[in-house]
């Protein structure tokens, strides 16, 4: 379901508002969180949970009963084991904690409401007033949350929000001072009555992508669109959950600002010269392929040229891929990620950019490494970001135990 919302400031208060705070559940202790995390990827029986946690079956049963009473867990139909009585299966209650995935995009605030297990319930978008500031941003987020919470599909409370942004996020995860959203308050959780994370879009796509490669210990996701960014995700084979590397001040992954030969001395918006984004981003490609008789203004127009077999467009994408691959050589050689996943509209609509990246990496990385690299074009990057955001929210609500 999609909802189109009026600006928050122009709506009358509803007679019956959703009181987020009143839906708060009984606080969970560390052992209960461990049990919920054990159910993260599917339902399990008590014997499986006892083996995984090291607790007795009686202890597991007691904790499951408490989690069922507090609506975090639901019991499914019993299944027949090879021996003995049928065994009940226990899984997360998808509506126990809903997540709002939000993004300020152009003149709209867009939101997707998801269950604890990652299913999409509803979407909404709200037009923004001109010149909005942090105060208005909070009001818009609150209005979007309350409207989605009131939908009949949302039978559980919205407990977390992940705000997706296309650039670096400062260390505390609550400020994006470079953006039109402005400097968000440090007490953002309290201001909106839910757990909040502000996260870079490529980082979330990396989290979503590594979820599709559960055996990989590391994955580099490269997003090619208006700019070029990357997220480096590490898997959760040891039970801690997948996580991303953010770097100093949140600047990890800004590969669009790596100097490349093809860019020469071209100025970049970052203040430097010769950056990758100045020759291989969507903006650069549209400019390079425009002619006096054919001004390209949208990515779709460029995709159409490629689909029509336009040689100039195909060569430009292949060259862009080679240049991106050149920029990644040092990163790939130094970090040796198991999987490199490329995303963005131009990557997902044809193989030309991906082929160029593979060509450069095969030629410029050590053979022992290039022969083992997996380089692939990802599917819908927006869906990967949503899945990554749900994973990020899960860890906000049910954090993994600290590793000794």
Token pair belonging to 53: 């946690």
Provide mean pLDDT across the span 146-167: 92
- Cα 387 from Cα 117, distance rounded (Å): 10
**So what's the pLDDT on residue 188?**
79
- Cα 107 from Cα 98, distance rounded (Å): 25
The full DSSP string for 207-275 is HHHHTT-TT-SEEEEEEESSSEEEEEEE--TTSS--EE---GGG-TT-GGGSB-GGGTT-B-TTS-BSB
User: What distances in angstroms separate CA 243 from CA 14, 233, 267, one per listed residue?
Assistant: 39, 6, 34
Q: Indicate the angle between helix axes 381-397 and 201-210, nearest 10 degrees.
A: 90
- Is the pLDDT at 51 greater than 50? The verdict is yes
Query: 72 and 25 in contact (C-beta within 8 Å)?
Result: yes
pLDDT band at 5 (very low <50, low <70, confident <90, very high): very low
- Is the pLDDT at 18 greater than 70? The verdict is no
Provide mean pLDDT across the span 86-97: 90
Provide mean pLDDT across the span 185-196: 82
Provide mean pLDDT across the span 309-334: 97
Query: 144 and 104 in contact (C-beta within 8 Å)?
Result: no
**So what's the pLDDT on residue 139?**
84
Q: Given its phi and psi angles, is residue 205 left (phi above 0), alpha (psi -120 to 50 degrees) or beta?
A: alpha
**So what's the pLDDT on residue 376?**
94
- Is the pLDDT at 378 greater than 90? The verdict is no
Q: What is the mean pLDDT of the chain?
A: 85
pLDDT band at 317 (very low <50, low <70, confident <90, very high): very high
Range with lowest mean pLDDT among 86-95, 145-154, 236-245, 395-404: 236-245
Give me the CATH code for the 30-77 domain, please: 1.10.10
- Cα 118 from Cα 399, distance rounded (Å): 17
3-class DSSP state for residue 390? helix
Residues of the chain with CATH 3.30.420.40: 96-205+386-397, 213-378
Residues of the chain with CATH 1.10.10: 30-77
Largest Cα–Cα distance in the chain?
A: 78
- Do strands 243-244 and 228-234 pair parallel, antiparallel, or not at all (unpaired)? antiparallel
Q: Give me the percent of the chain exceeding a pLDDT of 90.
A: 66
**Architecture of the domain spanning 96-205+386-397:** 2-Layer Sandwich (3.30)
Query: 147 and 105 in contact (C-beta within 8 Å)?
Result: no
Hey, which of 94-108, 226-240, 260-274, 356-370 has the most confident mean pLDDT?
356-370
With the C-alpha atoms ordered 300, 113, 162, 183, is the resulting torsion angle positive or negative?
A: positive
Q: Give me the percent of the chain exceeding a pLDDT of 70.
A: 84
Query: 228 and 324 in contact (C-beta within 8 Å)?
Result: yes
- Cα 152 from Cα 146, distance rounded (Å): 12
pLDDT band at 79 (very low <50, low <70, confident <90, very high): low
- φ, ψ at 79 (rounded to 5°): -120, 145
- Cα 207 from Cα 233, distance rounded (Å): 6
- Look up the pTM and report it: 0.87
| Degrees, nearest 5: CA angle 25-148-107 | 130
**So what's the pLDDT on residue 181?**
59
pLDDT tens digits, one per residue of 335-345? 999 999 999 99
- Is the pLDDT at 115 greater than 80? The verdict is yes
pLDDT tens digits, one per residue of 225-265? 999 999 999 986 544 578 899 888 788 899 999 999 999 99
pLDDT tens digits, one per residue of 277-311? 999 999 999 999 999 999 999 999 999 999 999 99
**So what's the pLDDT on residue 237?**
56
3-class DSSP state for residue 125? strand
Give the residue with greater pLDDT, 252 vs 79.
Answer: 252
pLDDT band at 23 (very low <50, low <70, confident <90, very high): very low
Provide mean pLDDT across the span 171-183: 53
CA-based nearest residue to 96, from 76, 73, 112: 73
Query: 292 and 268 in contact (C-beta within 8 Å)?
Result: no
Our CA dihedral for 219, 221, 222, 226, rounded to 10 degrees, sits at: -160
Any idea which fold 213-378 has? Nucleotidyltransferase; domain 5 (3.30.420)
CA-based nearest residue to 211, from 6, 37, 1, 389: 389
- Cα 123 from Cα 121, distance rounded (Å): 7
Query: 111 and 123 in contact (C-beta within 8 Å)?
Result: yes
CA-based nearest residue to 363, from 323, 399, 308: 323
**So what's the pLDDT on residue 6?**
35
Provide mean pLDDT across the span 201-228: 93
Provide mean pLDDT across the span 50-68: 94
- φ, ψ at 17 (rounded to 5°): -95, 150
């Amino acid at each position: 379901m999609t909802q189109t919302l009026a600006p928050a400031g122009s709506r009358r208060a509803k007679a019956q508002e959703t009181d987020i705070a009143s839906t708060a559940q009984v606080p969970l202790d560390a052992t209960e969180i461990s049990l919920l995390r054990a159910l993260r990827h599917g339902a399990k029986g008590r014997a499986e949970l006892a083996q995984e946690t090291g607790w007795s079956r009686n202890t597991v049963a007691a904790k499951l009963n408490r989690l069922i009473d507090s609506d975090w867990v639901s019991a499914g139909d019993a299944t027949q084991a090879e021996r003995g009585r049928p065994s009940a299966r226990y899984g997360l209650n998808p509506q126990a904690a809903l997540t709002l995935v939000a993004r300020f995009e152009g003149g709209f605030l867009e939101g997707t409401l998801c269950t604890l297990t990652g299913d999409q319930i509803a979407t909404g978008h709200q037009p923004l007033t001109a010149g909005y500031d942090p105060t208005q941003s909070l009001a818009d987020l609150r209005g979007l949350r309350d409207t989605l919470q009131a939908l009949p599909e949302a039978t559980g409370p919205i407990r977390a929000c992940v705000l997706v942004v296309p650039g670096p996020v400062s260390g505390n995860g609550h400020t994006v001072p470079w953006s039109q959203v402005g400097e968000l308050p440090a007490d953002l959780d309290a201001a909106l009555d839910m757990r909040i994370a502000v996260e870079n879009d490529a980082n979330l796509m990396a989290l979503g992508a590594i979820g599709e490669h559960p055996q990989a210990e590391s994955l580099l996701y490269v997003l090619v669109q208006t700019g070029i960014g990357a997220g480096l995700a590490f898997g959760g084979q040891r039970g801690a959950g997948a996580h991303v590397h953010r770097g100093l001040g949140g600047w990890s992954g800004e590969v669009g600002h790596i100097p490349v030969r093809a860019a020469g001395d071209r100025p970049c918006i970052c203040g430097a010269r010769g950056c990758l984004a100045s020759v291989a981003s969507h903006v650069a490609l549209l400019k390079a392929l425009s002619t006096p008789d054919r001004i390209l203004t949208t990515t779709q127009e460029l995709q159409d040229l490629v689909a029509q077999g336009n040689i100039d467009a195909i060569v430009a994408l292949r060259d862009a891929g080679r240049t991106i691959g050149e920029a990644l050589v040092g990163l790939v050689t130094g970090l040796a990620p198991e999987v490199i996943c490329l995303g963005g509209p131009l990557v997902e609509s044809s193989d030309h950019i991906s082929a160029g990246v593979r060509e450069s990496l095969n030629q410029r990385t050590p053979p022992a490494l290039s022969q083992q690299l997996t380089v692939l074009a990802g599917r819908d990057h927006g869906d990967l970001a949503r899945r990554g955001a749900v994973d990020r929210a899960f860890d906000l609500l049910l954090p993994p135990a600290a590793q000794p």
